[in-house]
């Protein structure tokens, strides 16, 4: 299976010499699955053209500093692309902004949260009534950095993980071929720390940034989510 990673944001310029782009982060997270997966990146944020949806075997949508309400030349065509992929049951995974634009394109509501910024390691309660998280632990933890949230999920999905800050944290769609997560399982600890330090005092107060950096020392379930992503892609291929 060729997995196309749609890059909707870029690693901040001060960090690009040290860290991979988001497309490579996802390829590293999921791996080749023993030869099951290959990866390509289409960088929408750098104006690379959308491919034909019929040529896509599976797709991942990355995070971004943009919001679904921003005016870009590629966002509306990409909404149409998401709806077409969903209708064809193309395996689809959305992460952070990807989670949000999938919900937005498929009938949900995404807004800046009145709770402000979510930053650091967040823990989520998992609903075992899920096709791809059925044997997951009761709680899973990941790095996050977001202000926007899915406020109202689309009607054609169910919430399979949540916490008080992010009630709609992981969604599983009714077609059986689409899932999304607000958190960042592709963010390794060193990258998460670097982002929190860079944005501290810029996007959020320094004390929030300091707490976020400290939280990175707690349990991280990135590898477990990578396994669930691999299972999901194998199951719906």
Tens-digit pLDDT profile for residues 12-71 = 999 999 999 999 999 999 999 999 999 999 999 999 999 999 999 999 999 999 999 999
CB 45 within 8 A of CB 61: no
Q: What is the mean pLDDT of residues 146-172?
A: 98
Query: Any idea what DSSP says for residue 182?
Result: S
Q: Residues near 80 by Cβ (< 8 Å), separated by ≥ 6?
A: 105
CB 164 within 8 A of CB 195: no
Record the tokens describing residue 7, joined without a space. Answer: 């890059």
CB 229 within 8 A of CB 26: no
- Please tell me the distance from the alpha carbon of residue 173 to that of residue 232, in angstroms, as a whole number: 12
Predicted local distance difference test score (pLDDT) of residue 41: 98
pLDDT in tens, 102-126: 999 999 999 999 999 999 999 999 9
Predicted local distance difference test score (pLDDT) of residue 200: 96
Residue where the block lists tokens 């001060």: 14
In the chain the domains, ranked by start, together with CATH numbers, are 2-236 (3.40.50.880)
pLDDT in tens, 127-157: 988 889 999 999 999 999 999 999 999 999 9
């Amino acid at each position: 299976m060729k997995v196309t990673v749609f890059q909707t944001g870029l690693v901040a310029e001060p960090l690009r010499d040290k860290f991979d782009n988001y497309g490579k982060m996802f390829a590293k997270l999921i791996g080749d699955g023993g030869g099951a997966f290959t990866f390509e990146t289409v960088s929408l944020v750098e104006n690379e053209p959308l491919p034909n949806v019929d040529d896509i075997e599976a797709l991942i949508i990355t995070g971004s500093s943009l919001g679904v309400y921003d005016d870009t030349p590629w966002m509306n065509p990409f909404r149409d692309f998401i709806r077409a992929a969903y209708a064809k049951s193309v395996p689809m995974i959305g992460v952070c902004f990807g989670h949000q634009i999938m919900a937005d394109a498929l009938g949900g509501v995404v807004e800046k949260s009145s709770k402000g910024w979510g930053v650091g390691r967040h823990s989520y309660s998992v609903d075992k009534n899920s096709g791809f998280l059925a044997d997951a632990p009761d709680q899973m933890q990941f790095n996050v950095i977001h202000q926007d949230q899915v406020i109202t999920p689309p009607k054609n999905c169910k919430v399979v993980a949540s916490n008080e800050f992010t009630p709609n944290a992981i969604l599983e769609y009714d077609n059986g071929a689409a899932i999304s997560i607000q958190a960042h399982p592709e963010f390794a600890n060193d990258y998460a720390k670097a982002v929190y330090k860079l944005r501290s005092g810029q996007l959020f107060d320094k004390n929030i940034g300091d707490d976020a950096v400290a939280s990175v020392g707690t349990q991280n379930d990135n590898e477990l989510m990578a396994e669930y992503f691999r299972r999901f892609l194998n199951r719906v291929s």
